[in-house]
Amino acid sequence: MAIRLSENFRAMFYAPFYAAHAIGAYDAEGVAVQLVHSPDPASTAMALRRGEIDVMWGGPLRVLLTHAQDPAANSVCFCDVIARDPFFIVGREPRPAFQVADLAGVRFASVAEVPTPWLCLQDDLRRAGVDPAGLDRVSGSSMADNAAAVRDGTLDAAQLFEPYVEELVASGAGYVWYAAADRGLTAYTTLVTRRPLLVSRREELLRMTRAMAYTLRWIRSASGIDVARTLSDFFPDLAPNIFAAAIDRYRALGLFASDPVLRREGFDRLQAAMLSGGAIARAVPYTDCVDNSLAEQTLHSAGG
């Protein structure tokens, strides 16, 4: 029986997850993986808990939320993929000396679609000595609307991911002020399953992990245009040159994990942001949320 793998939502920074299918990495490892569409990230997490899917990709944030609410929860991250924050602050004028604290002086829009980008950014602001509540912040609009508002000058800056960033930069309507990936490791997207499946379907999940390790190596070494062409069926409306430039920008920032092991440093940085932003009221042990045994076995077998 195929492993039912649910995507979180369709996004370009999830390129390795699509690439694993497109380059035949799962087939090469002899594991059948069925890609399942998800209506939204919260629904994906609930489907995993109910056993309607076997594995999801998504933020460790969802796993932390689940364990904070239910200490007996059995969801667990087992393969790191997106190791840094894929969001940017893009402004309508050049600001080469921009610091995060400078957001206090502009009209700014944060991401509304998912919680992690703002939670991480508000933590950056607090560390820079800025009270996030004091910002002139728009918080309810979509990224598409916010990108349009930067373009027409009704916003000074917006928090965005690719391809909005590349589209604004290429058109001359926007400038990258801040790449959140520069803060360092921040556990952002992993493969997640339920602990009982780590036992009952361990060999299949190990093969999945090996396939993802191979895919991560491929996506770091292939040209941006080759990645764009390979994944064009997943993003049929995206111009190849924009896609290629976005992949190159993400790779330069070290966005994609170097291997499948989820480092504690990245987990702790995410959890600190959730605590400072009030998303959780207590810290959850790393070992409750992460099992690196398959990732470490994959590294050992690869001689890494």
**Does the structure show a pLDDT above 80 at 296?**
yes
Q: How confident is the model at residue 304 (pLDDT cuts 50, 70, 90)?
A: very low
Band of residue 121 on the pLDDT scale cut at 50, 70, 90 = very high
Summarised one tens digit per residue, pLDDT across range 41-87 is: 778 888 888 889 999 999 999 999 999 999 999 999 999 999 999 99
Average confidence (pLDDT) over 249-276 = 97
Q: What are the structural domains, with CATH classification, of the chain?
A: 3-84+186-301 (3.40.190.10), 88-183 (3.40.190.10)
* Helix residue ranges per DSSP H, the chain: 15-22, 25-28, 41-50, 60-69, 116-127, 143-152, 164-171, 195-200, 202-221, 224-230, 240-252, 264-276, 286-289, 293-301
pLDDT in tens, 86-119: 999 999 999 999 999 999 989 999 999 999 999 9
Instruction: Report the pLDDT averaged over residues 124-135.
Output: 97
Q: Please tell me the predicted confidence (pLDDT) of residue 88.
A: 98
Using DSSP bridges, classify how beta strands 175-179 and 88-91 pair: parallel, antiparallel or unpaired.
Answer: antiparallel
Higher pLDDT, 46 or 297: 297
Could you give the CA distance from residue 276 to residue 123 in angstroms, rounded to a whole number? 6
- What does the alpha-carbon distance between residue 273 and residue 18 come to, in Å, rounded to a whole number? 28
Instruction: Report the alpha-carbon distance of residue 52 to residue 44 in Å, rounded.
Output: 9
Peptide bond before residue 163 is cis, with ω within 30 degrees of 0: yes
pLDDT at residue 303 in the model: 55
Q: What is the DSSP string of 217-229?
A: HHHHHS-HHHHHH
Instruction: Compute the average pLDDT of residues 116-144.
Output: 96
Per-residue model confidence as pLDDT tens digits over 188-240: 999 999 999 999 999 999 999 999 999 999 999 999 999 999 999 999 999 99
pLDDT more than 90, % of the chain: 90
pLDDT exceeds 80 at position 149: yes
- pLDDT at 274 > cutoff 50: yes
**Per-residue pLDDT tens digits for 13-44:** 999 999 999 999 999 999 999 999 887 777 88
Instruction: Please tell me the pTM assigned to this model.
Output: 0.95
Phi, psi (rounded to 5 degrees) for 98: -60, 135
pLDDT above 80 for 302: no
